[in-house]
Amino acid sequence: MLSLMMLSKMLHEYHGIEPMVIIDEYDTPIEQGYLCGFYETVVLFVRNLFSGAFKDNKHLKYGFLTGILRVVKESIFSGLNNLKINSILDSHYSEYFGFTPEEVRDMAAYYGAEDKYEDICAWYDGYRFGGTEIFNPWSVINYFSNGCKPACYWVSTGSNDVIGEMLIHADEETYKRLQSLLQGDSFTTIVDTSVIYPQIQNNPSSVYSFLLVAGYLNAEEVGITPSGDFICKVSLPNKEIAYVYNKEIISKLERFVPTTLVMSLQEAIFDKDTPRLKKLIEKLMLDSVSYFDTKEAFYHGLMVGLLAIFRESFYITSNRESGDGRYDIQMMPISKELPGFIFELKSGNDSSASDLKELAKAALQQIADKRYDSDMSSKGIEPVICYGLAFSGKHVEISCSV
């Protein structure tokens, strides 16, 4: 536990100058401890290791740490004096959290890619730290080194397992909000930059705080509540992060959705084979329904996740205005050679099979009555295939326009 203190002592004695101790991503072991079930053990280990380096080390010039979590809240440095913390919501040093627009423009000019600036903005900009607009530096560097090819470079830098942990413990409202982010929506929430991993389970609303400090959200607007907490309007910052969200939600479904089942779902939807589609969705829910409460928000999220497999060929949106109301899910084809799809969902707690059938028919009729197909029809997309789905527990009934 005294290894860092001993190392700094030897460096001091040999060079005659107190060394600086710099530790990057200090909280990575803590994240793994939380995910793998030895959180308390790893916190104790890190506390003892780092205390020897920073707390009573007379051979230290100064120390510098980077990470997602605030060190004080983790109780790693009990009694540590002269600690200065700068988070992404603070203005001090905000320009050093990544590349500024001026730096990215200079890089684009250096590589003869000035015309790619808007492309870079769409993929890797969107962050606002303190009062500074920031680009993801790792992704920008990889973008230029890979011939200005836009791709998700940040996803390969570490584990996203914590997102899956959040999805498992999310309540209905939190899950609905997380899903809305994929549709380009934003919302206002209280943010605690001192969030720690166990709070994910104990307080689902801390999900937003963690996603913000971890780089998965951007704070569009920042204010201070009377109690001193931050209140932020948050959204997904760019295409790269939207891809990560989409990929992570699908990957969590893949734990219980075999590839063959995914292919069968696609075929059934295109063929308007409602008996087959009913059988496949019910098979899926037998394995997945225990992860969330069986309320309409869950079924909505489940279907959005499943339909995300069509994202290469369709623009998938939910809860958007069309006609005289707001549809649940719409799949607008990228190519007019494909049909369009609209899904309206209903939840009937403890409903009988006959009641569910009527509810599914009512959902289908609602699409027609509210003219939800107006958006696609105005763009010359035809046919528009409509589905009414009624859920109860692990059962579903489906009606389809033919």
CA-to-CA separations, 72 to 24, 77, 132, 162, in angstroms, rounded: 16, 6, 25, 21
Asked if residues 108 and 117 have their Cβ atoms less than 8 Å apart, the reply is yes
- What sign has the CA pseudo-torsion 133, 136, 137, 143? negative
Q: What is the pLDDT of residues 30-65, one digit of tens each?
A: 888 887 888 888 888 888 888 888 877 889 898 888
Residue range 251-258: mean pLDDT, rounded: 54
Counting every residue written for the chain, the total comes to 402
> pTM surpassing 0.85?
no
In the chain, where the domains are located: 3-65, 94-156, 159-241, 254-400
Half-sphere exposure of 303 (CA within 13 A, CB side): 31
Residues 125-173: pLDDT tens digits? 988 888 789 999 999 999 999 999 888 888 655 555 666 666 666 666 7
